[in-house]
Amino acid sequence: MIKEQSQLTFAPWIKRTPGQSATGATVVFPHAGGAAAAYRGFAAALARGGADAYVVQYPQRADRLSHPAPDTVEQLAADLFAAGDWAQLGPLTLFGHCMGAVIAFEFGRVAERHGVEVGQLWVSASQAPSTIADSPRLPTADAEVVANMVDLGGTDPRLLADEDFIELLVRAVRADYLAFNRYACGADARLAADIHTIGGRSDHRISEDTLRRWEIHTAGAFTLSLFDGGHFYINHHIDAVAELVNAR
């Protein structure tokens, strides 16, 4: 029996958008440095055509600015799982963009170990967990962090000219990158959940072949879909991506 929302317990920094369906939920995991507010429109699109949407907030940004950053992706995922009454929501759909997909993958592993059903993981513009340890380390020096974010795109250039914004952005990105740089995952790590990958056809960081490497991390079905655009293709296809997720 699914509990009413008033009976559920969630940390205040887990942002809920009520949906149309009485069962299940979609949990959204932002990209490195990303705040929950950046996914408000996507959450609304998911909720319009499906179940409740929840966007998690990582430490070191927005209303969690004073919260210490976990040392590892695994610890971050475990903390996010401990912050919500996820077991009462019915089958979970997880959606993560870029680093958020890896956090969602680890969140899914924690959920499955606790007997919480995860129906599907949606991977957006992300490399597979088993490939990360052998990849170049992400930058953590201020100037290099900013340059990397500019290269990825997705950030309003007007904000990049704001020194206060840059200071907060670098703080959040560095916390996420340090955890990501410590991450290692074996090729035998799998979810029972289906994995659906999505990317931008013009993404110069994450290719179609890179997305296909996620297939080894599921014991279920695997799909791959591409949209026009680069690394942040999702900003231009919010409704279409939400419709694709809800259709599953």
Token pair of 42 as six digits: 């996507």
Token pair of 99 as six digits: 């680093």
Task: Give CA–CA dist 8/126, Å, rounded.
Answer: 31
Angle between helices 163-181 and 99-113 (to 10 degrees): 50
List the domains of the chain with CATH numbers.
Answer: 5-247 (3.40.50.1820)
Q: What pLDDT does 163 receive?
A: 86
Helix (H) / strand (E) element for 171: namely helix 163-181
The answer to whether the pTM exceeds 0.75 is yes
Task: Give CA–CA dist 41/247, Å, rounded.
Answer: 18
Task: Give CA–CA dist 123/12, Å, rounded.
Answer: 25
Q: What pLDDT does 158 receive?
A: 76
Rounded mean pLDDT for each run of 10 residues along the chain, 248 residues in total: 60 96 93 96 97 98 97 98 94 98 98 97 98 95 90 77 88 97 98 98 97 98 98 97 95
